[in-house]
């Protein structure tokens, strides 16, 4: 299928670990631990949320060790607050470093968002204004993360519900500048791009084209929920609680026309179905990838 991509060149030098394969992956949920070990499904990679594996021991580590032995692994942080005004939490960075040393994941990623302020952790990916001081802070934080972890990270574009009057840059330009200054990669969340562009009435294809696409190292796909704002306009919520929407599949197809096949994760965190349902979505992503691989070969 796409096995040639499993050995594609590594960004970041000899010390960097191997990259994720350009295949479909699934977010690893404790509900599916046993099923995965018992059935050994043909899945390109698994992704875990770093913070769930920061306990000292116990079942989570036991299962992850066994599953990781059989599959490529992506570790996805959800608590570093890279966009925050607080200094980076060095204790948390130490925990991340230990986790990465233990599991040697093919990829590490985090979010362009903040979640802590004044020492309190809000457990949500909160938005920041796109302007020079946020840019300086985000770049300083990413520099520190990459220095401490000794590797490049991927930064994920956010799903947002409000915009700030003080913003002076387009989100895509902001991300392009961060990538240029820090050398980090881009985790392109196609659902987030769709959700944000509907919520802020932007042209999502133009948004994608303006992103630093050469830096894409992984793609996320997920489902969203549909609500309306105070004026009755659609307000999409990044719920991760439904199958990937048709419009997002179409946008994924468009994204691959720009970046070619990429490791693609199916994220599901609410109303988690049986594992084969998610595996089928990962397989669907591989079908789209295969089509683009053929197009690339023909070109």
Partner 1 sequence: MSAAFAYTLLRPEAPCPAGLKTWNGSDPAQRFAVYRNNVIVSLVDALADSFPVVQALVGEDFFRAMAAEFARGTPPRSPVLAWYGTGFADFVADFPPAAGLPYLADVARLEWLRVEAWHAADADPLPLAEMAARLADAAALPALRLTLHPSLRVLRSAHPVVSLWAAHQAEDVSAALGAVDFADAEAALVVRDGLDVDILRIEAGAAEFVDKLLRGAALGEAAQASGPFDLPATLGMLLRSGAIIEAAPARRIS
Partner 2 sequence: MNKSITAASLAIAFGTAMTLAAAPAAAQDKMADKEKCYGVAMKGKNDCKAGAGTSCAGTSKIDYQGNAWSMVPKGTCEKTASPTSPTGHGQLKEFKEKKA
SS3 169: coil
- Residues 217, 109: Cα–Cα separation, whole Å: 10
The CB-of-31 to partner 1 minimum distance in angstroms stands at 12
> Binders of partner 2 among 109-148, rule CB under 8 A?
111, 113, 115, 123-125
- Binder of partner 1 out of 69, 118, 297, 299 (CB under 8 A): 118
Q: Which of residues 22, 50, 100, 135 is near partner 2 by CB under 8 A?
A: 50
- Select from partner 2, partner 1, none the partner in contact with residue 230, using the beta carbon and a kind-dependent cut-off of 5 to 8 Å: partner 1
* By the rule CB under 8 A, 168 interacts with partner 1: no
**Minimum Å distance from CB 182 to partner 2?**
20
234 part of the interface to partner 2, by CB under 8 A: no
Alpha-carbon distance of 251 to 110, in angstroms, equals: 22
Is 97 a residue that touches partner 1 (CB under 8 A)?
A: no
Does residue 60 interact with partner 1 by CB under 8 A? yes
CA 243 to chain centroid, in Å, comes to 17
Query: From the CB of 228, what's the least distance to partner 2, in Å?
Result: 11
Does 200 interact with partner 1 (rule: CB under 8 A)? yes
Binder among 148, 258, 269, 273 for partner 2 (CB under 8 A): 269
Task: Give CA–CA dist 201/22, Å, rounded.
Answer: 31
Candidate ranges 4-12, 125-133, 173-181, 207-215; the one touching partner 1 (CB under 8 A): 125-133
The 10 Å Cβ neighbour count of residue 246 is 8
Buried/exposed 87-123: b ≥16 CB within 10 Å, e otherwise: ebbeebbebbeebbeebebbbbbbbbbbbbeeeeeee
Q: Which of residues 214-253 bind partner 1 (CB under 8 A)?
A: 229-231, 233, 235, 237
Q: How far apart are CA 97 and CA 19, in angstroms?
A: 18
Contacts of residue 235, defined as CB under 8 A and 6 or more positions apart, other chains included, come to 161, 199, 226, 227, 228, 229
Cβ neighbours for 267, distance < 8 A, ≥ 6 positions apart: 27, 47, 191, 220, 221, 222, 240
Which token pair is 265?
């994760």
What burial letters (b/e) apply to 222-238, b meaning 16+ CB within 10 Å?
Answer: bbbeeeeeeeeeebbeb
- Which residues, numbered 155-214, are part of the site for partner 2 (CB under 8 A)? 156, 159, 161
Among 21, 25, 27, 44, binds partner 2 (CB under 8 A): 27
When binding is defined by CB under 8 A, the residue of 103, 161, 249, 254 that contacts partner 1 is 161
Please state the closest distance from residue 296 (CB atom) to partner 1, in A: 36
- Rounded to an integer, what is the distance from CA 79 to the centroid of its chain? 13
What is the nearest approach in angstroms of partner 2 to the Cβ of residue 241? 7
* Segments of 45-119 assigned E as strands: 45-49, 73-76, 107-111, 114-117
The binding site for partner 2 (CB under 8 A) comprises: 27, 29-31, 48-52, 59-60, 78-79, 111, 113, 115, 123-125, 156, 159, 161, 222, 225, 227, 237-241, 267, 269-270
The binding site for partner 1 (CB under 8 A) comprises: 51-52, 54-62, 78-81, 84-85, 89, 92, 95, 114-124, 126-129, 161-166, 199-201, 229-231, 233, 235, 237
């Amino acid at each position: 299928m796409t096995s040639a991509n499993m050995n594609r060149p590594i960004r970041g030098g000899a010390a960097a670990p191997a990259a994720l394969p350009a295949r479909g992956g699934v977010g690893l949920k404790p509900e599916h631990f046993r099923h995965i070990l018992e059935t050994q499904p043909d899945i390109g990679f698994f992704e875990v949320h770093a913070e769930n594996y920061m306990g000292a021991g116990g079942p989570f580590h036991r299962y992850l060790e066994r599953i990781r032995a059989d599959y490529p692994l992506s570790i996805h942080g959800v608590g570093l607050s890279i966009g925050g005004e607080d200094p980076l939490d060095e204790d948390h960075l130490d925990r991340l470093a230990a986790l990465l040393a233990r599991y040697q994941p093919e990829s590490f990623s985090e979010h362009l968002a903040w979640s802590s302020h004044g020492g309190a952790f809000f457990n949500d990916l909160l938005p920041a204004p796109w302007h020079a001081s946020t840019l300086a802070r985000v770049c300083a934080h990413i520099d520190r993360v990459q220095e401490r972890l000794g590797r490049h990270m991927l930064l994920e574009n956010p799903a947002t519900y409000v915009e700030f009057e003080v913003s002076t840059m387009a989100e895509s330009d902001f991300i392009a500048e961060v990538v240029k200054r820090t050398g980090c990669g881009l985790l392109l969340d196609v659902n987030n791009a769709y959700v944000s562009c509907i919520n802020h009435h932007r042209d999502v294809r133009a948004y994608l084209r303006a992103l630093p696409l050469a830096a894409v190292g992984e793609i996320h796909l997920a489902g969203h929920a549909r609500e309306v704002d105070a004026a009755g306009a659609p307000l999409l919520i990044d719920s991760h609680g439904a199958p990937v929407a048709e419009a997002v599949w179409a946008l994924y197809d468009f994204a691959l026309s720009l970046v070619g096949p990429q490791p693609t994760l199916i994220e599901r965190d609410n109303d988690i179905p049986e594992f084969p349902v998610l595996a089928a979505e990962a397989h669907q992503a591989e079908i789209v990838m295969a089509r683009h691989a053929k197009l690339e070969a023909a070109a």
